[in-house]
Amino acid sequence: MKAVLVLFDSLNRHALSCYGGPAHTPNFARLAARGTTFDTHYVGSLPCLPARRDIQTGRLNFLHRGWGPLEPFDHSLADILRSAGTYTHLITDHYHYFEDGGAGFHGRYSSWEFIRGQEKDKWQPTLGFDAGPHAQRFHPLQHDFSPDINSKLPYFANREFLEASGTFPMEQCFAAANRFVDDHHARDDWFLHLECFDPHEPFFAPERFLADKPAALGGKIFDWPSYGRLGDVDPALLAQLRARYTALVEACDHYLGTLIDTFDRLDLWRDTWLVLSTDHGLLLGEKEFLGKNRPPFYNEVAQIPLLVVPPRGTGPAGQRIDALTQTIDLMPTFLDVFGVARPPEVTGESLAPLARGDVMRTSRSGCIYGQFGAAINYTDGRYTYFLYPREPFEQDLVQYTLMPMHMRTYFEAREFDGARKVDALPFTRGFPLWRLPIAKDAPANMTRRYPLLDAHTALFDVTADPAQQAPLDDAAVEVRIRRAIVALLEANDAPPEVFVRYGLDGLRAAA
């Protein structure tokens, strides 16, 4: 068996033509026509690295800790497959894997390629960098040329080099994937993980994808929104931002087409699985918000694309599935594909039976998703529910980890105030953990970097109100959902304080 996972970052399903979106994406549609389009697929943990830990482990990250590396006790998809005799290869330009908070992921693969230059990748030197021309070229809303570790300065240096060289990281990613497939298509038992940072912001697309988008051209470039309220982003700027995002999605489609062409040329469809998804979407002005992390996780962020193509003849072409599925299902799906037993702590479900046409093979009636410290969000496919903790949000917020790292830094000494070692949790294979109360004044703490906005518990009927614009007042539905959340928290080994933070301890005791 062979399999390819194509993972984009911040790919909004509402943009894709196969989901009824406005972008010109014929190659996503080509893929959908060959296999199964999952219509009710949701995120698990957010944002980037928490989602990737979900993908690797088949478990939710956000109930126990925030952004961070793989843990020593984690059963990693790449490592399990490699240990079982399947060759695993990672091709990525997602630079977060190579920061402090991404440790351990790429090292589990048999081999890996890292393509440089995306966003704040510390690639091109910024010593003595002249930001003056960029201050003239880019809109003041994204002027951030400081030497601070979190500034946007590396982007401007990287972009200057990439524009001069005429190469783009996503183009290089797909070229490397096509080479790998060309070189190894006659061999069995390999898993290729192709992961592109695009269409994550900044929305830096090759000029040819902007040519037919007048809203993206003219004036100063605005391609990198700050997360939060729409605020002073005027309609013309918002139109430019959306046009640049659409151009980048269409670039993703173009390069995806090169991989599909390679599958066609080599007829890999006969014996190779191809799965495509993303970690999350994003908001581009909907509900008066931009980005993710700070706003509520409306479906523009939480309901994501998933396309699965099994080998020819093993599943129907062009089917659509409305079964409720989730990011944590990818790991057990690939284990199923390669005939490898899944570890007992995995809570995701294999989607292989659904892709093969067994539409009754799903047992999920609801799922929870979210970001560490923010709302616990729930959906059953009809309703979505945002359950926020009591304020202040940092109160009783605790991380459980053996890898105390933030995105770009280690934990500070102050973040160990009140720390204690605790016994193994049910999924940690005998490893004890550090129990670390959140230090709300620690600069790298993401609950401080991304304060919550519009943080009000809310219920929506997405069948009647797909845009989630009219919150419901239905006490009976809300109680039913809270009970379902309690059951899912228990199934995912949530720590006791989680039930208290979200006002669920009474329901838990009653159960």
Residue range 247-275: average pLDDT?
98
Structure tokens at 336: 């199923």
Q: State which amino acid sits at residue 357.
A: G
CATH class of 2-124+164-355: alpha beta
pLDDT tens track for 80-111: 999 999 999 999 999 999 999 999 999 999 99
pLDDT surpassing 70 at residue 235:
yes
pLDDT surpassing 80 at residue 216:
yes
Residue range 208-223: average pLDDT?
95
Residue 408's pLDDT is 94
Residue 451's pLDDT is 87
pLDDT tens track for 164-213: 999 999 999 999 999 999 999 999 999 999 999 999 999 999 999 999 99
Residue 445's pLDDT is 83
Rounded distance, CA 43 to CA 326, Å?
6
Q: State which amino acid sits at residue 448.
A: R
How does residue 218 score in pLDDT terms, banded at 50, 70 and 90?
confident
Percent of the chain, pLDDT > 90? 93
What residue ranges do the domains of the chain occupy? Answer: 2-124+164-355, 367-510
pLDDT surpassing 70 at residue 349:
yes
Cα 126 versus chain centre, distance: 29
Tell whether pTM > 0.95.
yes
Residue 480's pLDDT is 97
Rounded distance, CA 428 to CA 399, Å?
14
pLDDT tens track for 118-127: 999 999 999 9
Please, which residues have CB within 8 angstroms of residue 339's CB and are 6 or more apart in sequence? 1
E-strand spans in 160-230? 190-195, 228-229
Residue 363's pLDDT is 73
Rounded distance, CA 403 to CA 383, Å?
36
Rounded distance, CA 40 to CA 45, Å?
16
**Count of other CB atoms within 10 angstroms of residue 144:** 16
Residue 392's pLDDT is 79
Residue range 413-436: average pLDDT?
96
Nearest to 37 by CA among 303, 310, 308: 308
Q: Which long-range contacts (CB under 8 A, 24 or more apart) does 419-426 make?
A: 425/64, 425/400, 425/493, 425/495, 426/345, 426/493
Nearest to 191 by CA among 60, 362, 340: 340
Nearest to 388 by CA among 375, 369, 397, 373: 375
DSSP 8-state code for residue 238: H
Residue range 341-357: average pLDDT?
96
Residue 466's pLDDT is 96
pLDDT surpassing 90 at residue 447:
no
Please, which residues have CB within 8 angstroms of residue 100's CB and are 6 or more apart in sequence? 69, 405, 406, 407, 408, 409, 410
Of 269-278, 449-458, 486-495, least confident by mean pLDDT is: 449-458
Residue 449's pLDDT is 78
Percent of the chain, pLDDT > 70? 99
Residue 70's pLDDT is 98
End-to-end CA distance of the chain: 45
* Burial class of residue 200 in the structure, from the number of CB atoms within 10 Å of its CB (0-12 exposed, 13-18 middle, 19+ buried): buried
Structure tokens at 268: 């890999």
Which among 111-125, 348-362, 391-405, 434-448 has the top mean pLDDT?
A: 111-125
Residue 94's pLDDT is 98
How does residue 360 score in pLDDT terms, banded at 50, 70 and 90?
low
Note whether 134 and 98 are within 8 A (CB).
no
Residue range 45-72: average pLDDT?
97
pLDDT tens track for 363-419: 799 999 999 999 999 999 999 999 999 887 878 899 999 999 999 999 999 999 999
pLDDT tens track for 472-508: 999 999 999 999 999 999 999 999 999 999 999 988 8
